[in-house]
Amino acid sequence: MVFNRFFVKEVLRELLSNKVNLFFMVLALTFSLTALNTIYALGKSAEKQILDTLANLNFGKDAALVLAGGGRMMGLATTRTDTLKMEDIKAIERLNFVKIVSPFLGNVLEVNFSGKAEKLRVDGVLPNYLLANNWRVFQGRFFTEREVENYAKVVVLGYEVAKKLGLKKILGEKIKIGGEYFTIIGILEKKGSLGHYPLDERIFVPLTTAQKRLFNVDYLSGFKVVFQEGTDFKQNVNLIREILRSRHKLLEMEPDDFRIITPDMAIERFTKTSRTISAFLLTIALISLVISGVIIMNLMTASVEEKAGIIALRLALGANSHDIIYHYLFSAFLISGISGMVGWLISLLLIKVISLFTPLKPLFSWGTFLLSFGFSFITCIIFSIFPALKASKINPAILLKSL
């Protein structure tokens, strides 16, 4: 078999001779490829968004988060949660590899403003919270060390909280938090979400104010520690663990009464859901791809049966079985090319539309482009083998029956 323009024209002519079959083969494969490409791009986008948010919160390779209470990383604590104290923070601050230690105490409280009530997360923090989390003030200011020392009743709102409460000129206005009135002094810049956790739907008060005026406790919910660059991360984490266990007087067989969350653990936790959903949807898309392949196989087999006489004539005039196989495999190659291109273009359009209505910024790369054509080619070739072999085994004697 010589692959020249006459061969290509012959294959194209035969494909176009049955436009209905060609349409349904391309349609079936295009639908599956569109789903596959779109899901893949959106899944990668969701993962990148989470990684970008973690980086934007300064939770990179040189930071760790310590939460009160032992147990699983983001599950309910299985030990006491009142053992982390400010004395622990001071002990950690003295370590020479520590750059910043930012403690916090948080819980959900009712917040009232102008007759509107919302249940919101209230976090008591120190002024270094902004530096530790790479956060900036959008409007107004953050509270000062003096306000922390004086248990000041001042509050800084998350970006979405300000929007949700419908606040306009809010600086200096009063807001009621858990029965106490606070003065609004600022709004933080927008950070977005971390997985399903909205970072901007929180409000912030001085740590001492949260402990004494709102929650009436002397312990902490946790703290974030940022290490000096170039230090050994694993060694740093192990030393912090040893110090906390020693300060909390835990016996050797007792579990930690705190949880240390590393960047790798956070990435695994927050990308797990999106990966699970993406894997499930990709499985469905792959199943639909197999179904598309079966449709192509059946339509090509039907075409072989329709054109059995023409195939037999070719064989009788000197074509061999390999020529017939190449003919059908090349037909499959052309179908895969058309479907791959159409599927990729529709996916590109669909993803652009999705990005207009969601915060996701889909990642569409040359890898996605090659993925589209790769799956299209593999599907078409695999499922065209049966009809190609069937066509190659037709007996030229079939011509005699039509005489």
What one-character-per-residue DSSP string does 18-57 give?
A: THHHHHHHHHHHHHHHHHHHHHHHHHHHHHHHHHHHHHHT
User: d(Cα 253, Cα 235) in Å, to the nearest integer?
Assistant: 21
- pLDDT tens series, the chain, 403 aa: 445 566 677 777 777 777 888 888 888 888 888 887 777 777 777 777 766 666 655 566 788 889 888 766 556 666 777 899 999 999 999 999 999 999 999 999 999 887 788 889 999 999 999 999 889 999 999 999 999 999 999 999 999 998 887 656 788 889 999 889 999 999 999 987 776 678 899 999 999 999 999 999 999 999 999 999 888 888 999 999 999 999 999 888 888 899 888 877 766 666 676 677 777 777 877 888 888 888 888 888 888 877 777 777 777 776 777 778 888 888 888 888 888 888 888 888 887 787 777 666 666 667 767 777 788 888 888 888 888 888 888 777 655 455 4
User: d(Cα 198, Cα 118) in Å, to the nearest integer?
Assistant: 15
Task: Check if the beta carbon of residue 194 is closer than 8 Å to that of residue 271.
Answer: no
Distance of CA 374 to the CA centre of its chain: 24
Spell out the alpha helix ranges (H) of 211-320: 233-247, 263-306, 308-316
Task: Check if the beta carbon of residue 67 is closer than 8 Å to that of residue 58.
Answer: no
Q: Is 392 helix (H, G, I), strand (E, B) or coil?
A: helix
Task: Check if the beta carbon of residue 190 is closer than 8 Å to that of residue 200.
Answer: yes
Q: pTM to 2 decimals? A: 0.64
Distance of CA 376 to the CA centre of its chain: 25
User: d(Cα 351, Cα 344) in Å, to the nearest integer?
Assistant: 10
Distance of CA 382 to the CA centre of its chain: 32
Task: Check if the beta carbon of residue 180 is closer than 8 Å to that of residue 152.
Answer: no
What contacts 365, CB < 8 A, 6 or more positions away? none
Closest listed residue to residue 226, CA positions, set 104, 65, 105: 65
User: d(Cα 240, Cα 61) in Å, to the nearest integer?
Assistant: 16
Give CA separation, 371 vs 45, 275, 344, in Å. Answer: 16, 18, 9
Closest listed residue to residue 63, CA positions, set 277, 236, 217: 236
User: d(Cα 143, Cα 131) in Å, to the nearest integer?
Assistant: 13
Name the β-bridge partners of 197: 194
Beta strand spans in 338-396 (E): none
User: d(Cα 159, Cα 108) in Å, to the nearest integer?
Assistant: 17
User: d(Cα 65, Cα 193) in Å, to the nearest integer?
Assistant: 18
